[in-house]
Structures are given as structure tokens and as C-alpha cells.
Structure 1
Amino acid sequence: MTAEMINAAASGTFKLGDFAVHRTGFGTMRLTGSSAFHEGTPSDRGRSIAVLRRALELGVNHIDTAAFYFSALRSANELLNTALAPYPDDLLIATKVGPFREQDGEWGTSARPDQLRGHVEENLRQLGRDHLDLVYLRRMRQDSIAEHFGALAELREAGLIRHLGISAVQPRHLAEALEIAPVVSVQQRYALDLPDADADTLLQMCGERGIAFVPFYAVAGEGGQHGAVTGRAEAAVAEIARAHGARPAQIRTAWTLHQGPHVLAITGTGNPDHLVENIAAGTLRLTEEELTRLNALHRAAD
């Protein structure tokens, strides 16, 4: 398949709130060189802007970002604003609040419920919008998310937020949130060879309730935020990749998307060639035998 034929629409569409989004989207964190625990080298600014514009050309209409995705040289939200504003009507930009970073980049404690409005407004300013399409509450080890999620529900009622999601939670937190306001999406660390019973349960719960399930670090295996594509399933993934003429990371993305029509991918990159490969992963169709083999490895990891 040539690059001209690749389009995110080939991965299918899911109704995320009142947005019909293609199941292969884009995550902005890597553009800044920052992650949850370390900073790397940010992508060249001009190339980052070109990658964002190219993503839309390839049919991406779901982009994940956050105000705390920044480094000394880059801000993900500012790059989005520069590259894509005025935004297309069908583009859903999802952001998240909860973690807190000082202006010097140092991580603070989790935001209090009364601080969340300020964080939402910071995203609005940086993105140049009067409302946010989707805001995730990123849980930061709270036993209960009711007070924090309730604060976001009030901002939804006020018109600052269109849809709500939750991130890094346990199954009981989804039930807790649904008692307060509609939840359209759950973000969770989820990978082929990463043991996580909570993620498996949330995947099923979301499917039963028509809620999007959006994995992060899906292609990183055990490497997580460090980005290493390694893990227990690597030999099988490499073999299947050769059979499809694909990269192992593409097989991991394809396997993730095969876990249900409600599963969405937000793989990120600052490399235009890798962007095309990431979108192309949504066109891969694994055989029943390949899925059975990979699913067994995933269960064994648990």
C-alpha cells in the first residue's frame, strides 16, 4: 500500500460522544521531548508542525494532548494551535488534567479539585478555544475520584467542556464516575505483554457500555514511558510482522485495535515516516491464528 492510499478511516470509526472519530488517532507528547518521568530531545519545531498537518491529511480526527506536555523548548498545545487553528469541525482534541507541573517543568502534587478550573482554562488559552472537546481526569493515586470528577462535571455543565473521560483508574473508579456524569472514554496503560488485570476489566466494561477505551504506551511493551518496544511477546510479534511486511510496532497497534471496535489508538511520533507507518497499522488485518497466538501471550502475561 502506497502512502497516498493510507488513511485513518481504514481503521474504522467509533462514536466518541457526538464525534465520529477514526480509530487511529495521534498523541502529541513525543513532539515535546517530555514524558511523565524524563525529558528527551524534542522534535524539530518545523517538522512537528508538518507532522500535525500531515496527520490530518491522513484522516486523523482524534488528537490527544495536555497542557503539561511541555519541555524547555516545546509546548504540545502551542504546536497544535500553530499547526491546526482554525480547527476543522470534525477534529476532536482531547486533553487531560490532574497532574501538575510548575513553569520550570518540575512536577508538583496532584491538583486539588478547586484548581481544576484553572487547568482547564490554561488548556483553553493555549489551544485558542472557547471550549474543550474532551477532558480526562488523570487519577493521581486518589482512592476516590468523586470530588475531582465532580469539579469537571460542573465545568461541563458550565459549557467549558463538551465531554468527560477518566485516565489511569481502576474499574471501581469508572463506576464511581458514571454516578456523577457521562463518561465517553477511558485512557489506560495497556499493552500486549504488560500484565494489568484492571486494564483487561476496563476494556470489557467499556465495550459493554459503549465507552471508548484508549490505551497509552500500547506499543512500548514493558518499556512504558521509556518507549522501548520490548517484552515477552517480542519474538512472536517479530515473526507476524515479517509475514505482513510490517514493523513490530505496527503489529502491536493492530493487535490493540483488534481487541474491540471501541478501542482507539493514539500513537505519537515526531517523524513523518513513522506517522505514515502508525496510520497504516490501522489497515492491518491479523488472521484468526495470529490473534489466537497473541491473545494467548497476553493472557500468559497476566
Structure 2
Amino acid sequence: MTSQMINAAAAGTWKLGDLAVNRIGFGAMRLPQTGEALIPDAVPRDRDEAIGVLRRAVELGVNHIDTAAFYFSPLRSANELINRALAPYPDDLVITTKVGPGRGPSGEWLPHATPEQLRGQVEENLRQLGRDHLDVVNLRILGTESIAERFGALAELREAGLIRHLGISNVTPAHLAEARAIAPVVCVQNPYGIGLRPDQDAFVRTCGEQGIAFVPFYAIAATGRQAGATDSDHPDILAVARAHGADPAQIRIAWTLHRGPHVLAIPGTGDLDHLAANVSAGALRLSQDELARLDAVHRQAG
């Protein structure tokens, strides 16, 4: 399909609390580096190239950007690039960040933040982005332990005005119930896509029933995860792509958006052509037969 002049609004909108966003957003994880993301020896991306991608994303109607202070490579920080490219920020731009994990100056991963350390991570995001509050902060989880103490710490920062809305990432339904007993949750961010975590299907539906956005990551990369999408894809995905004059990545995005009006997409890229293709995927409308075919591919992974 042609990606010329297609705006992110073609995918429809959803509200993160009181903040309306187009359902096609942008993930900033790949902006600071080329190749595999979040590794200590990543190759920094050209600064002007990254800034150009961010500005073009906003021109294409993207008003939801997902980032984190731990998205950085040697010389490049996603938050710093966002600040440089987009400040002063458009009134309708929603920047979602996440806290919990930490990385040292050399890029090595540190133990997850304690409740006391979360305020420092929030303040670091504020400093890097040049904001006096954060629109949405996701608490990123590792494991199945209780999140009550850490989520409670973020709820206190929300009450103090440093955070507008809260979400959670890499979580279970039990985590969501635990968090909602403490403060409102506007989004859940989990790995999900065609063939990736079909066990999440019921959780996706539950979020929709509760009015909570479900924001998949690795929706294009699938099992490739941080290394990115592979060069090969399932024959049924390729067939649907040919029928629409699209590429497999666009079909993966479109399928994700078809999972419900509350499902948002945050594909990331450092390439202008890929950016335009990702945004245009929001205009794809898949038939019931095509969805059934793709659903079968998805379930096979289970």
C-alpha cells in the first residue's frame, strides 16, 4: 500500500486517562543506536537522522511517543533526542516513559530500582525531557513478585503532580489488579504480536473491558525481540501482505490494532521510509477471513 500522505489519525484514537492519542504511536527504543537495541556496545545512530525521524513522525500525526531514560547508547539518549527534536512540545503530544530498570554509564544493567530510587528515575526523565511533569509513567516489572510498594511510590509522585497518569509494563493480570487497588491504571505494556505470547489474548480482552489501553511491544519483531524482525515470515502473513500491497511488518501492526479499539501500536525505527510505512499500516483494514488466517498463525505459537 502507498504510505504517501497517510496520517496516524487513520488508525483511530484512544484516551490514556484524559489524554487523547492516535492509536499509531512511536517507540523510541531504537533511536539512539543502529542494530540490536539496549546493548552496551551499540553503535550510536546519526544524531541528525534520529532528530529527522522524530520530527517527521509528528508531521505524520504521531502524538504518542514511548521512551525511557534507559534507552541510550554511547553518545545518544532517546530522551535527549526527543527534547532536541520536539521541544517546545506540541500541546497534543503525549510522552510515555517507564521506570524500574536502570543502566550504568557504560550501559550495563543494574538491579531494578527500589521504591526510594524510583523518584530519582522519575526526576531523571523530567530533566532529560525538559518537562515539569510526565504524561504517563509505566512501572516496568521483572518477575511475579508484588508491585504494591513500588507502584505505591509512583502513586505518591502522581499525587505530588510529577506524574499525570500511571501504567504498568511486563506484567500479569494479578499485577494489574494489585495496581488498580492503589491508583488508576491507564495502560498495560506487554510483549505481544502475531505468534508472540498467544497466552496474552485473554489479558488483552480484560484490559479492553476495564477501559485500559493495551500497548504491545515487539509487535513487529515478535520472537526477534530486541534484535528486531527477521528476514523471513510465515507464508500466510506474506500472502495477506501481497493482497494489500503491503509488507509483513505492516500486516503485523494492522493485526495488532484489530485486536480491539483499546490496543495501541508503538513501532519504532530510525528510518524515514520505515516510519512512513508503519504509520500507514494504521489505515489497513483486514477482512474477517484474513484475520482468521492470521489468528491461526498466532495460535500455532501456543
State the TM bucket, normalised to the shorter chain.
over 0.9
Query: Structure 2: any 5+ residue segments left out of the alignment?
Result: none
Q: Deviations over 1:57-98 (max 9, x none)?
A: 000000000000001121000000000001111100000000
Which runs of structure 2 are paired with 1:154-193 in the superposition (5 Å)?
154-193=156-195
Is the CA contact (8 Å cut-off) linking 2:139 and 2:169 kept in structure 1?
Answer: yes
- 1:267 corresponds in structure 2 to 267
RMSD: 1.5
Whole-Å separation in 1 of the counterparts to 2:74 and 2:287: 45
Displacement over 2 Å in runs of 4+? 1-5, 34-43, 228-231
- 1:203 corresponds in structure 2 to 204
Whole-Å separation in 1 of the counterparts to 2:118 and 2:290: 44
Identity %: 66
Is the CA contact (8 Å cut-off) linking 2:187 and 2:215 kept in structure 1?
Answer: yes
Counterpart amino acid of residue 95 in structure 2: I
Q: Deviations over 1:18-71 (max 9, x none)?
A: 111000000011011263456543331101101100000000000000000001
Give the alignment partner of residue 145 of structure 2, picking from 138, 143, 146.
143
Secondary structure at the counterpart of residue 194 of structure 2: coil
- 1:105 Cα deviation from its structure 2 partner: 1.3
- 1:129 Cα deviation from its structure 2 partner: 0.4
Give the alignment partner of residue 90 of structure 1, picking from 63, 87, 92.
92
Q: Deviations over 1:229-269 (max 9, x none)?
A: 368x6111111111111110000000000000000000000
Q: Deviations over 1:260-291 (max 9, x none)?
A: 00000000000001100000010111111100
- 1:74 corresponds in structure 2 to 76
Whole-Å separation in 1 of the counterparts to 2:37 and 2:141: 16
Whole-Å separation in 2 of the counterparts to 1:24 and 1:3: 14
- Provide closer, same or farther for how the CA distance between residues 39 and 22 of structure 1 changes in structure 2, counting only shifts above 3 A: farther
- Provide closer, same or farther for how the CA distance between residues 260 and 124 of structure 1 changes in structure 2, counting only shifts above 3 A: same
- 1:300 Cα deviation from its structure 2 partner: 2.5
Secondary structure at the counterpart of residue 43 of structure 2: coil
Is the CA contact (8 Å cut-off) linking 2:40 and 2:108 kept in structure 1?
Answer: no
- Provide closer, same or farther for how the CA distance between residues 267 and 72 of structure 1 changes in structure 2, counting only shifts above 3 A: same
Secondary structure at the counterpart of residue 165 of structure 1: strand
- 1:227 corresponds in structure 2 to 228
Residues 1:128 and 2:130 are matched in the alignment: yes
Give the alignment partner of residue 55 of structure 1, picking from 37, 57, 80.
57
- Provide closer, same or farther for how the CA distance between residues 38 and 226 of structure 1 changes in structure 2, counting only shifts above 3 A: farther
- 1:301 corresponds in structure 2 to 301
Whole-Å separation in 2 of the counterparts to 1:235 and 1:42: 34
Whole-Å separation in 2 of the counterparts to 1:289 and 1:252: 15
Is the CA contact (8 Å cut-off) linking 1:98 and 1:111 kept in structure 2?
Answer: yes
Counterpart amino acid of residue 129 in structure 1: R
- 1:215 corresponds in structure 2 to 216
Secondary structure at the counterpart of residue 263 of structure 1: coil
Secondary structure at the counterpart of residue 66 of structure 1: coil
Secondary structure at the counterpart of residue 49 of structure 1: helix
Whole-Å separation in 1 of the counterparts to 2:104 and 2:269: 25
Is the CA contact (8 Å cut-off) linking 2:167 and 2:186 kept in structure 1?
Answer: yes
- Provide closer, same or farther for how the CA distance between residues 37 and 142 of structure 1 changes in structure 2, counting only shifts above 3 A: farther
- 2:121 corresponds in structure 1 to 119
Which runs of structure 2 are paired with 1:29-44 in the superposition (5 Å)?
29-33=29-33, 35-37=37-39, 39-44=41-46
Whole-Å separation in 1 of the counterparts to 2:43 and 2:58: 24
Is the CA contact (8 Å cut-off) linking 2:44 and 2:74 kept in structure 1?
Answer: no
Whole-Å separation in 2 of the counterparts to 1:230 and 1:39: 23
- Provide closer, same or farther for how the CA distance between residues 210 and 229 of structure 1 changes in structure 2, counting only shifts above 3 A: farther
Whole-Å separation in 2 of the counterparts to 1:46 and 1:75: 13
Q: Deviations over 1:210-245 (max 9, x none)?
A: 1000000001122111112368x6111111111111
Query: Structure 1: any 5+ residue segments left out of the alignment?
Result: none
- 2:248 corresponds in structure 1 to 248
- Normalising by structure 1, we get a TM-score of 0.96
Is the CA contact (8 Å cut-off) linking 2:198 and 2:298 kept in structure 1?
Answer: no
Is the CA contact (8 Å cut-off) linking 2:40 and 2:107 kept in structure 1?
Answer: no
